[in-house]
Structure 1
Amino acid sequence: MSFIQGFDPDTLREEVDPSACSERLAEIGEQRSLPALLERVWLLKVLGRPEDSLVLSEESVRVARMAGTRKDLLRARILHASVMQARGAFAAAEHEMTTCAEEAEGQGWAAIAAFAYQHRGKVHFDTEDYEAARKDFKRALFLRQESGATDDQLESTLLAIDAADRRRAAASVAS
């Protein structure tokens, strides 16, 4: 079940049903499996609890490093970087997402690389570097198409490209 109802066209943040997310968070409880940890991290992040999310995201990276696959570790690191972004640590988030994107591409894991580029694009978007954001979103779109992504994933990337284009155009008019 997807809790994402859409994306805010101005911030590119996920639009979710807070009560459904809170209910799911309660269902998961204190489960310690990696999938449960990752889901809890994301739910806390979208519910606007970045401090709680940060603690769990650090734990999820440790668990993935000890007991997961390399793909699991990359997913955990990307999610951790997105939590850092939510907390305003843009440079650290960008660095981590760059490292993850490069590793995923080097391994031929297009879907994970796309996930990293999409989120790095959001970091650039938040820092008002719309040209870099657009470049990352275009790379994510290519990789998502290559990996057979869902229509929802492709649509979210197209929305992000459009938002970066609109912001870039508005910035050039303002200057």
Structure 2
Amino acid sequence: MSYIKGYDPDTLREQVDPRACKERLDEIGEQRSLPALLERVWLLKVLGRLEDALVLSEQSVRVARMAGTRKDLLRARILHASVQAFRGAFAAAEQELTMCADEAEGQGWSAIAAFAYQHRGKARYDAEEFDDARRDFKRALFLRQETGAPDDQLESTLLAIDAADRRRAQVVAS
């Protein structure tokens, strides 16, 4: 089940049903499997419980490092960096996402690289680096098209490109 109902066209944040997210969080409880940890991190993030999300994201990276695959570790690191970006730690998030994107592309894992570029673009967008954000979103779009990503992923990336263009034009006009 997707908890994402859409994306805010100005902030690019996921629009979710908070009640459904809280119910899912309760349902998962204290499960310690990596998929459960990652889902809990995301739910906490979109619910605005950023301190809890940060602590749990750090734990998910440790679990992935010890018991997951390299792909699992990249996904956990990307999610951790996205929490950092939500908290305003843009430089740390950008650095981590750059390393993740580079590693994923080096391994030929285009879908994971696209995920990293999309989140790095969001971090740059939040930091008001609209040209860099747009470049990241374009790279994510290319990789997603190349891998045959689902329409909702393509649409979210196209929305992000449009938002970066709009914000860039506003900055130039002011």
TM-score by length of 2: 0.99
Name the structure 1 match of 2:23: 23
What displacement does 1:73 show?
Answer: 0.1
Distance in 1 of aligned mates of 2:18 and 2:105:
34
Hey, what's the Cα distance between the residues in 2 that align with 1:31 and 1:92? 28
Aligned partners of 1:30, 1:109: CA distance in 2, in Å? 30
Task: Measure the CA separation in 1 of the matches of 2:133 and 2:86.
Answer: 16
**Map of 1:166 onto structure 2:** 166
Per the alignment, residue 92 of structure 1 pairs with 92
Partner amino acid, structure 2, of 1:96: E
Amino acid at match of 2:116: A
Unaligned runs of 5+ in 1: none
Aligned to 1:127: 127
Shift of 1:125: 0.4
Alignment match, 2:78: 78
User: 1:23 deviation in Å?
Assistant: 0.1
Helix, strand or coil for the counterpart of 1:15?
strand
Name the % identity. 80
Confirm or deny that 1:155 pairs with 2:142: no
> Is the partner of 2:92 in helix, strand or coil?
helix
Deviation at 1:91, TM superposition (A): 0.3
**Superposed, which structure 2 residues align to 1:7-86 within 5 Å?**
7-86=7-86
For 1:13 and 1:59, how far apart are their aligned partners in 2? Answer: 24
| In 2: Cα distance, 1:8 partner to 1:105 partner | 29
Give the aligned residue type for 1:75.
R
Listed as ranges, the matches of 1:95-114 within 5 Å are: 95-114=95-114
Write out per-residue CA displacement over residues 58-82 of structure 1, whole angstroms, 9 at most, x where no aligned residue.
Answer: 0000000000000000000000000
Root mean square deviation, CA, Å = 0.4
Structure 1 Cα separation of the partners of residues 127 and 72 of structure 2: 28
Cα distance in 2 between the residues matched to 1:94 and 1:146: 24
Between the aligned partners of 1:148 and 1:66, the Cα distance in structure 2 is: 31
Task: Give 5+ residue unaligned stretches, structure 2.
Answer: none
Offset at residue 154 of structure 1 (A) = 0.1
* Separation of aligned partners in 2, 1:139 and 1:35: 27
Task: Quote the residue 1:115 is aligned against.
Answer: 115
Cα distance, 1:15 vs. partner?
0.3
CA distance, structure 1, for counterparts of residue 87 and residue 173 of structure 2: 30
- Runs of 4+ in structure 1 displaced over 6 angstroms? none
